[in-house]
Structure formats: structure tokens, C-alpha cells
Structure 1
């Protein structure tokens, strides 16, 4: 793929490992096959099958780099995308067409939240695309096995690159996956896409950029590192009815180091997305799963997409739960509390915390969630 166009030379990026090759120009920008035949398959970013299930027969190709829909082509985000997780659906709701970042340190359950969300889309008429960028092959294999086990693979496309793949392949992976997802969005369908993770994508982009002598900036990333992610995530939206009314919801994942949310790439992506779900290693170690830190998580669209019944039941739950957590920190310093405050905040807070715990692979229906939330808010 052509990367640099200079007056006297062209900088190209290899998408496969090879010692001897001939390069010929084909007068085409990088594109991938799209269509229904990709559903249920595991492919690389050029749509070559990786699952030993035979050839993929598609009739259409689309470029991986496409302009995001214009503002006037977009509808407000109003329909909820149910994750099946009480803590997310009640306190940090996600809408169809939203971009909600999932971030946290390594091994805090980021992919688990995305996987549960995909599993929860069964029979909800939402197609899913999971894009693994430079992940360990064993991790991706386990995820695919879990999708098969929960009958979720039939409405999912997995686009996979491993750590051994060339940087060029890892760089194009999210763009290829988005083009595959856009095909269904333009047909009026609702699609969910997970990018796992964009730190690996930024590193994959930095490598050829430095080799091609592009000027480095902060942390040696090239100057357009913000632009490569913004032009990717801006493609997620809810289209107007005249354009089919489809939606593309993005769940980008970012791994932080030592809980440093203010690092370069995380802050860039926080500024592009419509909110973030922050997973805390402290909660993970205490066994509070999913390890969502409600105080640091936010959904900038949320309330508008939430079902009215959630708003009436869990409206002030988030505030009281955050107050309880603050109070719990102060209580360690032997802060004296009057009995009434202690009873209201501490006992209720502990009950809410227990109620928001949830095992993996066990998403709850809206009805079940409402019943549980109603019980805890009424003190039953």
C-alpha cells in the first residue's frame, strides 16, 4: 500500500511477509470485499479467510478509507444498545450510533465487557464486527470459541491480526473492519464494532512512519496520530431515515499503563468519543466484576437513549453510589458519621455494589435488570 508520495520516490508499506517479490501498480486504492458472505467468518484485514471454512464469495468491494457521513446525514442517537450488564445499562447507557471508549489497565476485563455485549445482541437484530489488532492468537482463538459456544458467531465477523503480522496489516485492520460494517449500516441495519485495541493500532502506525522518516512528535508518534483515530471513529453514526436509518456503534478499547488515563493516546481517544467506561484494577483485585469505576465513567449521550423505565428507577442511583464510594474512602480515616447517614449511605451503597456485580457470559434481559434495580432502590 502506498504510504508516502514524494517528488522523487514512493514510500510503500508491505502487507505480507516475503523475501522476494515484484511490485506492480494496479491503479486502485486499498479496498476489501464486503457482503453477507462475511458473516460468521474469521478473516484477515484483506478478507482472506483464517477459519478453514472455504472461500468467501462476495460481489462487491469498497475502499477501506471512506469519508465519514456529513452532519446533515446523521440522526440523533435515541435507541439504546443493551449490553446486558446492569452497571452499564443502568448507569452508563450506550445508544445505537454512539462511540463509547472502554479503557483500563491490562487484565481488568475490557474485552470481557465487549464480548458480553456481542453475546447480548442475539435475537436483537444487531450485527457485530470484532477487530483484533495485534492480539495474541491464543486470546483471539478463545474469544472465537466463546462466540461459537454462545451461538453469537452467526451474526459476527471477526477481523484478526496477531502480534506476528506486519505493521501495515495491523494498521489497515480497523479501517477494513469498519468498511465491512458500513456495508450493513448502509443497508439500514444496526451494527456494533469493537476495536481491540487502539494502542496497538497507534504503535503499528508509528513503526512504518518512523521508517519512512515522517517527523516524530510526542512519544515518537507522528503528528497525525490524532487524525488516524478521529477519521476512523467519526464513521460510526446513526444515519437519517432517507439514507436507510442504519447505525454503527463503536466500542474502541484502549489499554492504559499504571492507571494513567492522561497519557497521549488515551486522552486523544477520550476527546473523540462520546464517553468512556473506565475499569479499575483495584476493583478487579477486590472481585468487584465487572470492574467499572462509576465515578470516572461517563456517557455523553446516555440519558437520551435510555429506556424511560431505567431513568425512573436508576435516575439517582449513580449519584448515591458515587457518594457512598467517596464516603467509604473517608471512613478509612475513622471519620465519625451520624447513625442515620451511615445507614442510608453505607448500607444502601454496599447493597448496590453487590447488585451491580455480574458474572461473565450471563447478560440479563431488560426485564430482569429492572426487577433487580427496583428491588435495591426500594430497599427490598
Structure 2
């Protein structure tokens, strides 16, 4: 982007000629240098930060550097159509995106333009993609659950409406799967969804769209796509466009779930742009303001009070780690911005645990305030039991003789993990979750072999849907949103009936090597 002597002399000559004249607001300038999606422009002295500027051939750019006598802009389009000396015009507008219900069911670009062959989007309203986040006084406490339908997450790492929960892990550990399941689970719950794809392959996005259509989720979802083949400026803009679309619904009192997949690629795109704009590099060659890049994005997720609309935006940003290193620059930045993280482990994923959520480093800073009372009541000791299991499991690998208490803890933990396994696109509602958690809490599962856990889970959900007494318990729980002691006892008896039905003979029980025979004989009496 270095200027030659001729160009410098032309600029100085022009400034000498205009010296002393009244300064007129410059509405057009000249391209001095262009290349790699970045242009240096002279003459646009009054351009605003983030303003949309118009190049010839209807190519657009966005102002990102305001220098003395010149501006640096990124080109949002084909930079090969632009050459040195071209006239650039101001639009007078900050980069905007269309918003409104007309966006639902559509796949749009980072500028909000349709890219799905379903014709133009006829929206009446546009909003600037950059906006100051909602202030503290406009916010409301997060106390309503945002159900993902995933038993492990809703019970141990609950997410509330208005929360920012990071999904973090190595590649190919099921990060996107969790986000897509969460979107599918919003069907019928009056929650609109925005899925922002940054740097993904077009084939991957086509598969996501197909899955969402298959499960009827595209009716309440908009996909903002800035694929791997698209320029860094478009990848940079995509998440801001997504959250602007979501904010329109939040301000109208609606709840929105937004997924950023993923912010690692977003940071890389911003680094590329910054280096081309000659901004000084810092740690890992990222510019100094890379923290602000993500903080101003994620701070826009909130639950606002009635005066400001009464809606909410729940954000699920995704970060990809390298070999599980969460202490790298971008992961630590985003962890410090969000309200908790769901950590996915390659080891768990490879051992067949799906979703591969590692409960240890995973946390929700909103906690049980974002759970219905029944789930809160039943999941109280779950994290502790799993933590004990993982600790003892690593100890037991040394092969030393174990006492009965340790064996019981290991057996119980193995059954919990087997019960928490869940197939993709198979959400479980919170009432069924509370019943499964009751089976864990009452230790009724100890009579079943580990390989029977999937069948047991299906039996419990089917039984409480069809059986009259069990259905009554379920209806009570749905209305009261809490268990009393009598209901807990009744529900436990129903669960024990299922265990007895599945345990056809004593040999099935003996195979578990867990518990005493006299206790088993008392079961269900």
C-alpha cells in the first residue's frame, strides 16, 4: 500500500491549490491504492467510521481507518473491479441490514441480502449493524430457562434467556451439533433463532439448512452466512448483522437465540483485515482491539425490561481450540466475556460419549436460577457425583484393590454417563428430564446393566406419557413446576416398576455387581 512520489506530489499540489478556501464537506474521493480487499482513499475527509462507501461498478466498501488526509476501507465485494484513480462516493449511511419477520426462513449474506433462491426479501425496516449494547439499567435478571433439550446441559450447565454461554472444544467434537439441537428444541416455545455461519464450507451450511427444514425449525430461524470462500470483510460483518436482526425482535418483546459459529474464524478474519490496513499487530499477530471486537458483539445479548421491549437475546458463541488449549488468546478473551462455558472433550467424544460435555471445566454463571424447580430439585448432586466418578476413575486405573464404597461410586457414575448419552436431533423436554434425574437421584438405575440405559430412558418417557397414575404425576409437576415429597415417592415407585419390568430375572441384576440382594428383593414392595 506504499505510495509512489507522483501520487504524493499530486495530493500535495491539490492541497496547496485549495489552501485558504472554505472547506466543503467532501462527498467523493479518489482511490490511491487497492489490493487484497483493502483500499486507501484520499478526499473523503468527512467520512464516518463504519460508513458504507460506493465504488464504481456498484461495489461497496466500509470505512475502518480514519487517518490524517486519507481513509482506509475494506471492500465488501469484488476488489478486482476497482483500480487506482477510481472515484469513490460517500453514502452517508453506516452499514445497515434489513430486519423484521420477513427474514425468517431465509438464508442471507453478511449484508442481509438473500442468497437462497427464494427471491427478494420485502422488508420495510433497516438498522445499522453497529450499535452500542443495552445499558445496565435497561437489563433484567436472567431467571427463565432457555431449554436446549440436552439432558446434560439443562441439568448441570443450565442456560437462561439473556445469557451468553460459550461452546468450546477442539474441531470435530460436536460443537455445532449442540447449537443445532438447541435451535430445533425451540419449536413451539416462541423463541426465534439466528444462526450465523462464519468461514464454514457452503456444503456444511446446506446440510444445516436441510436438517433445520426437516425438523420444521427454518420457520422461526434465519441463517446469516459468510462462507469460507467469501472475503474477510464479509466474515467480519456477519455476526453484527445477525445480532442486529435479533435485536429488532428483542425490542418488540420477543425471545431470540443466536448462534455464532464460530468466533475463532471471526477473529482470524479481523486479524487479516487489520494487518492489511497496517494496524500494529500484538499477541499472536492479533490487533490490540480484538477483545473489543467480541465484547461489543456479545454484550448486545441481554434480557431487557418492559420499558425497553421486554425481550431477550441468548447468545451461544462457538470457539475452536487447538489440542484442548483453552489458555490461548482468543479462547481466554471470549471466556472472560461470556457467562459460562460448555467444554467439549475430544477424549469423551472418541470414547463414544455424545454429547461430549466435560462437566469439570464447564460452568454456568447463571446456575440454577435458569431451571424449573423440578429439574433444580433433582439435579442438585449431579455435578458432584460426576466429579467424584471422574476422580476415582483415574485413580482406579492404577489397578489397586477398591473398597465397596469406591466400587459403588464408580458403578453409579458409569450408569449416569450412560443415561446422559443422547442422540442428535432427539431433544428431551424438562419434565422428562426431571424424571430421568429422579431415577439417578434415587439410585434406581443401579439394578440395571449399563447397556440397558438407553432402553430404560425410552421406557421412562413412554411410561409417564401413557400410564394413568404416572401421567397424573407428570401433569401435577407441569402445573406446580415442583415436586413435593408425596409426588417424589409416587414417581420413584413408578420408576422402580419400570426397573422390575426390565430386570426379568435375578441374573440380570447379578451382572451389575452393584448393591445387595436383600435390597433388590425389597424393590417395588
Q: How does 1:355-374 map to 2 (within 5 A)?
A: 355-374=419-438
Higher relative contact order (CA 8 A, sep 6+): 1
Q: How does 1:118-137 map to 2 (within 5 A)?
A: 118-137=183-202
1:161 to 201, 216, 226: 226
Q: Which residue of 2 aligns with 1:8?
A: 69
- Asked if residue 19 in structure 1 is aligned to residue 80 in structure 2, the reply is yes
Q: Which residue of 2 aligns with 1:108?
A: 173
Q: Which residue of 1 aligns with 2:54?
A: none
Q: Which residue of 2 aligns with 1:215?
A: 280
Give the Cα separation in 2 of the matches to 1:186 and 1:37.
16
1:354 to 413, 418, 421: 418
Between Structure 1 and Structure 2, whose CA radius of gyration is higher? Answer: 2
Q: Which residue of 1 aligns with 2:241?
A: 176
SS of the aligned residue for 1:287 comes to coil
Q: Which residue of 2 aligns with 1:252?
A: 317
Tell whether the 8 Å contact from 2:393 to 2:410 is kept in structure 1 after alignment. Answer: yes
Q: Which residue of 1 aligns with 2:16?
A: none
User: In the TM superposition, what whole-angstrom CA distance separates every residue of 1:303-333 from its partner, at most 9, and x where no partner exists?
Assistant: 1111111121110111111110110011111
Give the Cα separation in 2 of the matches to 1:336 and 1:128.
52
Q: Which residue of 2 aligns with 1:188?
A: 253
Q: Which residue of 1 aligns with 2:441?
A: 377
Give the Cα separation in 1 of the matches to 2:180 and 2:132.
28
Give the Cα separation in 1 of the matches to 2:191 and 2:219.
11
Q: In angstroms, what is the RMSD of aligned CA positions?
A: 0.9
Give the Cα separation in 2 of the matches to 1:120 and 1:300.
22
Tell whether the 8 Å contact from 2:193 to 2:257 is kept in structure 1 after alignment. Answer: yes
SS of the aligned residue for 1:151 comes to coil
SS of the aligned residue for 1:19 comes to helix
Deviation at 1:248, TM superposition (A): 0.3
Deviation at 1:143, TM superposition (A): 0.4
Give the Cα separation in 1 of the matches to 2:113 and 2:314.
25
Give the Cα separation in 1 of the matches to 2:401 and 2:263.
45
1:56 to 115, 121, 124: 121
Give the Cα separation in 2 of the matches to 1:212 and 1:314.
51
Q: Which residue of 1 aligns with 2:352?
A: 287
Give the Cα separation in 2 of the matches to 1:297 and 1:84.
17
Deviation at 1:335, TM superposition (A): 3.8
Q: Which residue of 2 aligns with 1:150?
A: 215
Q: Could you tell which deviates more after superposition, 346-355 or 327-336?
A: 327-336
Deviation at 1:222, TM superposition (A): 0.2
TM-score (norm 2): 0.71
TM-score (norm 1): 0.98
Deviation at 1:299, TM superposition (A): 0.2
Deviation at 1:243, TM superposition (A): 1.6
SS of the aligned residue for 1:25 comes to strand
SS of the aligned residue for 2:130 comes to coil
User: In the TM superposition, what whole-angstrom CA distance separates every residue of 1:271-290 from its partner, at most 9, and x where no partner exists?
Assistant: 00000000000000001000
Give the Cα separation in 2 of the matches to 1:237 and 1:350.
38
Give the Cα separation in 2 of the matches to 1:80 and 1:309.
12
Which portions of structure 1, spanning 4 or more consecutive aligned residues, are displaced by more than 4 angstroms? none
Aligned length: 379
Deviation at 1:221, TM superposition (A): 0.2
Tell whether the 8 Å contact from 2:374 to 2:431 is kept in structure 1 after alignment. Answer: no
Q: How does 1:88-99 map to 2 (within 5 A)?
A: 88-99=153-164
Give the Cα separation in 2 of the matches to 1:3 and 1:65.
12
SS of the aligned residue for 2:137 comes to helix
Give the Cα separation in 2 of the matches to 1:204 and 1:34.
25
SS of the aligned residue for 2:314 comes to strand
Q: Which residue of 1 aligns with 2:389?
A: 324
Give the Cα separation in 2 of the matches to 1:111 and 1:219.
26
Q: How does 1:303-342 map to 2 (within 5 A)?
A: 303-342=368-407
User: In the TM superposition, what whole-angstrom CA distance separates every residue of 1:104-137 from its partner, at most 9, and x where no partner exists?
Assistant: 0000000000000000000000000000001111
Q: Gapped runs of 5+ residues in structure 1?
A: none
